[in-house]
Structure 1
Amino acid sequence: MKRSLIKAALCFLALTPVVNAQDVRTLEHFESEYVDARQVDVWLPPNYETDKNMSYPVLYMQDGQNVLNDETAMDNTSWQAGRTALDLIKQDKIGPVIIVAIWNTPDRFLEYFPENAAQYLTDSEKKQVMELAQKDGSNKKQFLGDEYLKFLVAELKPYIDSHFRTLKDAKNTAICGSSMGGLISMYAAFEYPEVFSKAAGLSTHWPVFFDNNDTNPAEAIRKYMEMHVPAPKSHRFYFDLGTASLDQYYEDHQQQVDAIMERSGYAQNDNYLSQVFEGEEHNEKAWRNRFDKALLFLYKSDQ
């Protein structure tokens, strides 16, 4: 009995938001029944504390340690997503939004792969995915994309909605990521269209592997997408890519995804935007430099 009480107390303390000077609340150890625990940072827009009558849309972002803070980011270069959002809010280009930055774990590759696309992979390709995950430090041996989405939808979002002043409906709930984070963001909106109405993928890692020698994994994802595209009247998608480093492999795949979305009723510059940034590489600096484009498109009609 005492152990249960102690564990409950520790969980409460771990999920008590830690306030810092940058309007970010940190949930240091968010536990889940579906995936491993992780840190979650919540960036609050200006006037959140002074205007208690206002509620806000929410943008969920992957690879959270790279989203807000240079000190925790890869190569000490974050997206500076809060600063970008703040600039656009002050310029009245978007309305205020809460950003929820979800840190990744060593299971990132398995959590971010669209699990329902795995049925179209060969046994050899499934083995390669597991090997890539092991290189990242994972000790899991199964795909975790569906479990990760259950964590988002059934655990994290209810917590955020109950502890912060949010607009809870799908119209006001968006999701975003880069590389594999772009894949899982697409998958979230496709699997839970009643939860997420907007999604963005920067340098989305369509090939799955790190070259174009085996294009079947990308085709597996497109087969899944063909059968699960959300209604274009109620959803919006942003995708982009560079042309250098890993992004050099993406353009043909992105064009085929664009064709799927067009056939499904999405229109470029209306409820869909796909862009190419010449010479841009596959890194946080590149994504930071164009994150404003994603924000502007996701929220352009909300003003």
Structure 2
Amino acid sequence: MKLIKLGICLSLLFASCKSESTKKSNDEEAVINPKTEINFEPVTGVELSGGKLLRAENFPSSYIKQRPVDIWLPDNYSSDKKYSVLYMHDGQMLFDAKTTWNKQEWKVDEWATQLQKDGKVQDFIVVAIHNISDLRWLDLFPEKAFNFIDPQTQQELRNIPMAVEFKFSGDNYLKFIINEVKPFIDSNYSVYTDKAHTFVMGSSMGGLMSMYAISEYPDIFGGAACISTHWLGSMPMANNPYPKALFEYMNANFPQSQDQKVYFDYGDKTLDAHYPQYAKQVDDVLEAKGYNDTNSKNIFFEGADHSENSWNIRLDQPLVFLLGK
């Protein structure tokens, strides 16, 4: 396979834009005892517009390489009431542009603070899982989708040079969230634990992983926001087999519309220029699974590119869609 020379560096898929299918449920035993002491300390040197940010520098895991996990708590967080939980990927890119590699951010604290203050969304906290640059693509690719590619092509893909071993870890990444992070959050913070109040969101590869999360764990997540979803699956290449495999996976495994909310969006600049061609396939999956305008979105943002600066302009839309009152 010949990679198309588009001048997009490979690190786009690994950092945060340098940056059988058996359904699981919450009856899986947590690997980490939720009462295990894990120290979340206030993050210093981060400027927030509201709320506070706590971090465990190396959240323990039996599934994936340890990494930082952040918790954003809104102003006046109180144990006297319950909060919904939004799990987000690429956690280091969400809150303060001064600390990110490209000096851009999602402005999660700005939007979450304002929308809660205005009463447009239910009270919620954010659990932000950091990526590890070299492992990001392997962690966030929907692992079982690879099974929809024929064996010969699978081997050709494995032969494409990479900086690390070609070994998908998307299933273990989800087990990390479901069996290790979520039980800790549920036991140590004043949150609802049911699917109606548990959501997942990400962009690019994080968009794919959010789609995968709700497909593999429909009894855990009640909604997913998939922003600038990277339907290419990998770097742009001729005769790319990943998009077909991803949609075949979705046709077989994406959850039916009962008690679910799903949000997709895309632009048409930089890497997002590759995504409009897949919009109809997304719509077709949603229709086949029984979704309508009340519980699903697939929105085109003309002129939007593939960057945190584009995502932070429209972040209110997925937040209100998933968490709106």
**Same fold per TM (> 0.5)?**
yes
Q: Give the corresponding residue for 2:232.
A: 207
State the number of aligned residues.
282
By percentage of residues, which structure has more helix?
1
Unmatched 5+ stretches in structure 1? 1-11
Map of 1:123-134 to 2, 5 A cutoff? 123-125=152-154, 127-128=156-157, 131=160, 134=162
Any idea what the Cα deviations from partners look like across 1:238-285, whole Å, max 9, x if unmatched? 0001110010110121320111111110012x1001101111110111
3-state SS in 2 of match to 1:98: strand
Paired residue type of 1:107: L
Distance 1:62 1:131, change over 3 A: farther
Q: Give the corresponding residue for 1:118.
A: 146
Unmatched 5+ stretches in structure 2? 1-35
Deviation at 1:153, TM superposition (A): 0.3
3-state SS in 1 of match to 2:147: helix
Which segments of structure 1 move beyond 3 Å, counting only runs of 4 or more? 122-132
TM-score by length of 1: 0.88
Map of 1:147-166 to 2, 5 A cutoff? 147-166=172-191
TM-score by length of 2: 0.82
Q: Distance in 1 between matches of 2:165 and 2:83?
A: 36
Distance 1:215 1:131, change over 3 A: closer
Q: Give the corresponding residue for 1:293.
A: 317
Distance 1:181 1:244, change over 3 A: same
Q: Distance in 2 between matches of 1:293 and 1:168?
A: 24
3-state SS in 2 of match to 1:75: coil
One of 198, 205, 211 as aligned partner of 1:186: 211
Paired residue type of 1:113: F
Distance 1:46 1:220, change over 3 A: same
3-state SS in 1 of match to 2:247: helix
Map of 1:225-236 to 2, 5 A cutoff? 225-236=250-261
Higher relative contact order (CA 8 A, sep 6+): 2
Q: Does 1:170 align with 2:198?
A: no
Q: Distance in 1 between matches of 2:159 and 2:145?
A: 15
Q: Distance in 1 between matches of 2:253 and 2:81?
A: 34
Paired residue type of 2:285: I
3-state SS in 2 of match to 1:88: helix
Report if the CA contact (8 A) 1:117-1:224 is conserved: yes
Q: Distance in 1 between matches of 2:208 and 2:248?
A: 14
Q: Give the corresponding residue for 2:76.
A: 47
Q: Distance in 1 between matches of 2:141 and 2:169?
A: 8
Deviation at 1:131, TM superposition (A): 4.4
Deviation at 1:210, TM superposition (A): 3.2
Percent identity of paired positions between Structure 1 and Structure 2: 36
One of 39, 42, 53 as aligned partner of 1:19: 42
Q: Distance in 2 between matches of 1:218 and 1:54?
A: 43
